[in-house]
Chains A and B, each alone.
Chain A
Amino acid sequence: MKKTTLRSEVVDTLTLQDLCRFCQTDEAWVIELVEHGVLDPIGGNSSNWRFVGTSIRRAKKAGRLKRDLGVNTAGVALVLDLLEERDAMLRRLAQYEATLDPIRPAG
């Protein structure tokens, strides 16, 4: 973790235990998310897993979706994939619209 002033630090990677604490969840749920491909930790087995920024963010989202909407793991995986697809499309749409000049009728 990077040290900064005022005792704040950037969260780079989290272990399985850290991630469980971070998401206020248990190991079984995190392992299930890894098995469904929602999270992609570095490291061979769960004892030396390291979760990077994108996984941390996805785990937090997955936890909220489960808690707030009652979505199961397969559903969470599907929702997250579709949301990422949607966001990528919204970005492309914004870029496309920025280059699009209004078409005026001739005459």
Chain B
Amino acid sequence: MEFKDYYKVLGVARDAGADEIKKAFRKAARKYHPDIAPGPEAEAKFKEVNEAYEVLKDPERRAAYDQLGREPPRHDGRYQPPPGWDSGFSFSQGGPREGETFSDFFETLFRRGADPATDRGTGWGADSHGRIEITIEEAYEGAARTLSLRSPVLSPDGEVTLETRAISVHVPKGVTEGQHIRLPGEGAPEAGAGDLFLEIVFAPHPIYRPDGRDLYLDLPIAPWEAALGGHVTMPTPDGRIDLRIPKNARTGQKLRLKGKGLPGQPRGDIYATLKIVNPKADTSEARAFFERMAREMPFDPRAHLGG
């Protein structure tokens, strides 16, 4: 297990006062809150900050932590607390919410003997919440996943150990971002038969931007396809489809592909934003062709700018 420098995490000195620690925590919590700062880095940082504050806000815990010293004892490169490091301290209970776990360092040092089920503070402690990331293609098809969940379990002799469980989850087709799926009876095992709720998150996609059941993308077209109109084929998660480009299409023009978005009641749509892409004039033939257009086409794209 890794030694955690909680003072460094909060960016405060080792002799910082309680007010200073509270201030540093509040500032960091606002900055890294997963609902405010997107991304897994912020979430990890938020958890770290909470863990640090959980120890440093409690005078007993902080004193015990300080006794571990600045230079942590190491055996074979792994941190081991010295024997009897916590003698004379009694910790108030606390810890992460919603059945989450903090680092091994925290769980080993501060969770020992405390019943994790009593940390919750509400009568609904038996439910667990998590997130599951799927691709947009999987949302069309449905997906199967095996999740491994870590939860603290109290053994008969009062030791808290982290138990890993594997759960197979079926994500039905047609889920949208932010929806929840429920797995009855799969909540935290030590607290009775609660449910496990998983929030659906879409992995960032190189082409599509989802909005509910609709998908948005940029569709590149050639200048002659834009000018003359006609049919182009476009791949979608639902298979290749034939798309009619109107005559004299403009960059930025939106085409709606009804019912080609995510499945559901009603089905979503795909919105393709046209983007005219020029071929490069990198051969003499291509150059000659562009030169002929320049000579023969009376076109001033800057006419509306005046002057």
Contact = CB atoms under 8 A, between A and B. Distances in A.
A10 B175 contact: yes
A99 B181 contact: no
Contacts of A5: 170
B68 interface: no
Contacts of B181: 4, 8-11
Contacts of A69: 26, 29-30, 33
Contacts of B179: 10-11, 53
B299 interface: no
B57 interface: no
Contacts of A64: 33-35
Contacts of B251: 99
Contacts of A57: 178, 199
Contact of B172 (A4, A83, A98): A4
Nearest to B34: A64
Contacts, number: 89
A2 B197 CA distance: 14
A2 to B, nearest CB: 6
A7 B178 contact: no
Contacts of A67: 97
Contacts of B148: none
Q: How large is the interface on B (under 10, 10 to 19, 20 to 34, 35 or more residues)?
A: 35 or more
Nearest to A25: B122
A25 B120 CA distance: 11
B216 A8 contact: no
A7 to B, nearest CB: 6
A24 B180 CA distance: 15
Contacts of B51: none
Interface in A87-101: 91, 94-95, 98-99
A65 interface: yes
B98 A24 contact: yes
Interface in B243-283: 251-252, 273, 275
B252 A99 contact: yes
The 7 tightest CB contacts between A and B, nearest first, are A11-B180, A4-B172, A6-B170, A57-B178, A24-B124, A61-B35, A5-B170
Interface of A: 1-2, 4-11, 20-22, 24-25, 53-54, 56-57, 60-61, 64-65, 67-69, 79, 83, 91, 94-95, 98-99
